[in-house]
Structure formats: structure tokens, C-alpha cells
Amino acid sequence: MELFFWHKSFGILLLGLVLLRIAWRLWRPRPPWPELMPRWERWAARISHAALYALMIVAPLSGWVINSAAKFPFSVFGIWELPAIVTPDKAIQHTAETIHLGCFVLFAVTLSLHIIASLRHHFVLRDNVLISMLPIGGDNRPHREELG
């Protein structure tokens, strides 16, 4: 039972962090794409980013719905209690559980593909896509177009 306490608490914490990340992203746009990056890769990156953000929002919200529909108190790190966001209802609980599990599976698949793509850019294409994602910034590696 203690595992669920931590699972739910970290889920809500991550929801807050994702919302802050989205605000940061609106304030500070992403770095430019490498010039030689094909259109289909840019499209795939946009779709995967949108999917990751959506899943990181829907997953904790569906977890909150599960607790609310099950009429189970939801305390975040034992510090504050979140209010119920739906009325108790087994059908809503079951639907939210299905959504929650689906979010996990889709998140795991999408994140895995995202990691593989970033490693491909770094080790195979040798461009600055992976480095540009890091908070430390500066990229001293040559861009693919500079390698010739």
C-alpha cells in the first residue's frame, strides 16, 4: 500500500513539473532543427514531443480520477489532500484505470523510440540534436553538414 502512496505522490509532482516545463517551452522555444534533417524526421519529432507531453498530463490526471471515482483519499506526500474531481462511480474508475494503463504503455513505447532517435542522431548522424536537448547548452561538436 505504501508503494501506491509514493506512486500517486510522485505522479502529481511530475504533473506539476510537466506544466512548468510546458510554460518554460513557451517562454524559451526549442533549438533549431539541423539543416539537413528530413521533413519526415521533423514531423516525427513534433508528434513524439506532443505525445510525450500529452501522456505526462493525462496519466496523472487519470490516476487522480481513479482515486476520486473509488472514493479513496488522495494525499500528496502526506502534506496535502487533493479534492475529488469526479463523483464515486465504478464505471468511471474502470475507464480511468484503462486510460492510466494505456498511458503507461504508450509513454514507454514513445519514450523508447525518442531515446533511440536521439542516440541515432548523436552516434550515427553525428549532429547536435542530443546535445541541444541538454540543459548545459553549448555544442562544440561539428554539425553533420560541417562534416562533409
Instruction: Give the Cα separation of 51 and 33 in Å (integer).
Output: 19
Question: What's the residue count for the chain?
Answer: 148
pLDDT at 139: 47
Summarize pLDDT for 48-85 with one digit per residue, the tens. Answer: 999 999 999 999 999 999 999 999 989 999 999 999 99
Measure Cα distances from 7 to 10, 64, 65, 133 in Å: 5, 11, 14, 27
Angle between helices 90-119 and 39-69 (to 10 degrees): 150
At 137, is the pLDDT very low, low, confident or very high (cuts 50, 70, 90)?
Answer: low
Instruction: For residue 90, give every residue at least 6 positions away whose Cβ sits within 8 Å of its Cβ, in sequence order, or none.
Output: 69
Write out pLDDT tens, residues 99-119. Answer: 999 999 999 999 999 999 999
pTM confidence score: 0.86
Could you count the other beta carbons within 10 Å of the beta carbon of residue 16?
11
Give dist(CA 73, CA 51) in Å, integer.
30
The pLDDT value recorded for residue 146 is 45
pLDDT at 54: 98
